[in-house]
Amino acid sequence: MRPGSGQASTGPTLVWVYVAHLALQDFRSYESAEIALDPGISAFLGPNGQGKTNLVEAVGYVALHGSHRVSTDAPLVRHGAPRAIVRAGVVRDERKALIELEINPGRANRARLNRSPVPRPREVLGMLRTVLFAPEDLVLVKGDPGERRRFLDELLTVRAPRFAGVRSDYDRVLKQRNALLKSAAQHRRAPGPEVLSTLDVWDTHLARTGAELLGARLELVAALGPLVAKAYAALAPGRAADLEYRASVSLPELSTDRAQLAEALLAGMAEARKNELERGVSLVGPHRDELLLKLGDLPARGYASHGESWSFALALRLASYELLRADGDDPVLILDDVFAELDTGRRNRLAELVAPAEQVLITAAVPEDVPEQLSGATYEVASGEVTRVR
Amino acid sequence: MYEGVVQNLIDELGRLPGVGPKSAQRIAFHLLAADPADVTRLTEALREVKDKVRFCSVCGNVAEAEQCRICRDARRDTHVICVVEEPKDVVAIEKTREFRGRYHVLGGAISPIEGVGPDDLRIRELMQRLADGEVTELILATDPNLEGEATATYLARLVKPMGLTVTRLASGLPVGGDLEYADEVTLGRAFEGRRLLDV
């Protein structure tokens, strides 16, 4: 049985991916847990604080090597345990793969694929793709620009794991360059030639890795924009939603040529140099850019109502899902406690949009929160015990 | 915690690179049980290395005299200098027996985070060696990481006005390896550095 397989009538042939098996050891509140899952819809029900979100967070971790709730790994490990282990049996085009991640806070994580260790955990990224909707998504609309940059970079990494490397190279260059600027700023007198010539070197490297990241983000926003507009219109008819990428430097018109972008970044750094030396931080580059979310002519941040902000956040996730499907993968959808926040109209429209996915994992406090269109397997979660009831 | 002297030994061993508390303890107890002659030989070796070994006045490699073995060797090509970060890099390149020129050991790489700038490396000494025009090629063999690349870029810019040939070690796929096992960064680099195949 293959729920939703009739939906893929147009576009590329989809690769069906779903999680068939999830085992946790010392992850969050779970000392150990094992769950068998089917394709289609699975709902995890139970009162608050029983560990529903922890389950879907673990699935998300397998896909992204990060949590949607916290930025460090330490809270993921059960209090008092040295490490957490997440095992996921992923069925990909009818072949089963076992992904195992060992989460070591403060040290490198380790990964195994089909019981053999891989040299870098990064190599199992891309085996499972997920799109996760959660109450935390509201910060995408209402929060700092950093949240929206993270959203773009995470999506880049899901589509092309190489970007995990680009991102970490960029962060490293930025750290080195900031350290240099900071030490120059502390000396108060005009920086000597050796500082300036070293700075030139870091400028070149920042421009090169920065252009790579910037170009990829621009291409992503161009692809995502129309999908966000469409998803928003489907969820909340009214003002039109749109995306605009605002870079910290003036960019060549409609070009994502990496060499041209690097030129633009170098020119921006040359212009900002005096200011950067005074303040001791890098003021130019993708780490200072903003993804502007617009409703009509106004920015969503500060102008949108609570309901509109929620719909925009959901539209961003739905658009990510559509984009990944267009790439030929059918990501697992995770809806973590999202229905409680929505009115009946939006609830039903969201349910219709997600129902065709190969696998949908839902958490909710009460069964009434789950729309009828999404009835399927049901699990009860109570004080760290997961039982299938239907 | 152990009695004074034993714990001292464990603490000292634990300060060595790559030795954790467990290994330090294991080594300490191995030494306690070892033949006194073996331990004497070890202490002798440690003392000698601090007394006798110094750094070559020309290239900065470890040496037992004013100059290192390679700098003293008249058969080495004086037109080529290979720039490396650490003395252990010299050993690695020497093992290949491919390189017949001389070395220059920088003593690290540019890393503002660790407070290492060009002035903290043996760059002034390198410029002095290049001044007389005998050297015609400079091979930049710093590590293929961010700091190594930055150091290489810095040096390349610095010596550009001197008009010598500056080359950088190739980075790419390991020989004898399978393409499928290369990580995407390495593979990406190898793509960038692809060359024409002459047939």
pLDDT digits (tens, 9 = 90+) for A268-306: 999 999 999 989 999 999 999 999 999 998 889 888 888
Does A25 belong to an annotated binding site? Answer: no
Indicate the pLDDT class of residue A193, thresholds 50, 70 and 90. confident
Query: Is a pLDDT exceeding 80 seen at residue A4?
Result: no
Complex-level ipTM beyond the 0.85 threshold: no
- In the predicted model, what is the mean pLDDT of chain A? 89
What mean pLDDT is reported for chain B?
90
pLDDT of residue A254: 66
Please say if the pLDDT value at position A112 is more than 70. Answer: yes
Asked if the model's pLDDT at residue A2 lies above 50, the reply is no
Structure tokens at A326: 């267009």
A258 touching B (Cβ < 8 Å): no
Quote the tokens at residue A59: 């699935």
- Quick one: average pLDDT of B151-155? 95
Q: Is B115 on the interface with A (CB under 8 A)?
A: yes
**pLDDT of the residue at A188:** 62
| Mean pLDDT of the region A383-387 | 86
Q: Residue A100: beta bridge partners?
A: A87, A112
Q: Where in chain B is the domain with CATH 3.40.1360.10?
A: 73-196
Q: What is the CA radius of gyration of chain B?
A: 22
Residue B123: left (phi > 0), alpha (psi -120 to 50), or beta? alpha
Mean per-residue pLDDT, A315-323: 95
pLDDT at A101: 95
A31-35, A92-96, B150-154: which range is least confident on average? A92-96
Supply the pLDDT for residue A362: 94
What pLDDT shows up at residue A232? 94
Which among A123, A198, A204 has CB closest to B110? A198
Q: Does A194 contact chain B (CB < 8 Å)?
A: yes
Query: Is B102 a residue whose pLDDT tops 60?
Result: yes
Q: How many whole angstroms separate alpha carbon B30 and alpha carbon B93?
A: 34
Q: Say which range, A13-17, A262-266, A350-354, A362-366, has the weakest mean pLDDT.
A: A13-17
- Of A59-63, A150-154, A181-185, B39-43, the poorest mean pLDDT is in A181-185
pLDDT at A151 over 60: yes
H-only helix segments in chain A:
52-64, 138-142, 145-159, 162-186, 193-235, 258-279, 300-303, 306-326, 344-354
Residue in B with minimal Cα distance to A120: B183
Mutual orientation of helices B123-130 and B146-159 as an angle, nearest 10°?
A: 40
Q: According to the model, what pLDDT value does residue A7 have?
A: 45
In chain B, the N- to C-terminal Cα span, in Å, equals 69
For B110, name the nearest residue in chain A, comparing CA atoms only: A198
- pLDDT given at position B199: 76
CA distance A18 to A87: 14
Is the CB of A183 less than 8 angstroms away from the CB of B158? no
> Residue A192: what pLDDT?
75
Flag if B147 and A161 touch (Cβ within 8 Å): no
Over residues B49-56, the mean pLDDT reads: 88
Q: Do A119 and B183 touch (CB under 8 A)?
A: yes
Q: State which fold the B73-196 domain adopts.
A: Dna Topoisomerase Vi A Subunit; Chain: A, domain 2 (3.40.1360)
More confident call, B177 vs A237: A237
Q: Is A49 annotated as a binding residue?
A: yes
A165 touches chain B (CB under 8 A): yes
- Range of lowest pLDDT (A26-35, A45-54, A65-74, B186-195): B186-195
The first and second tokens of residue B32, run together, are 């306690």
Asked whether the predicted pLDDT for residue A40 surpasses 60, the reply is yes
The whole-angstrom separation of Cα A331 and Cα A322 is 9
Q: State residue A189's pLDDT score.
A: 66
Q: Does A312 touch chain B (CB under 8 A)?
A: no
Q: Which string of b and e fits A34-63 if b means at least 16 CB within 10 Å?
A: ebebebbbbbbbbeeebbbbbbbbbbbbbb
- Which residue intervals of chain B bear CATH 1.10.8.420? 4-52
CATH fold for the domain made of B4-52: Helicase, Ruva Protein; domain 3 (1.10.8)
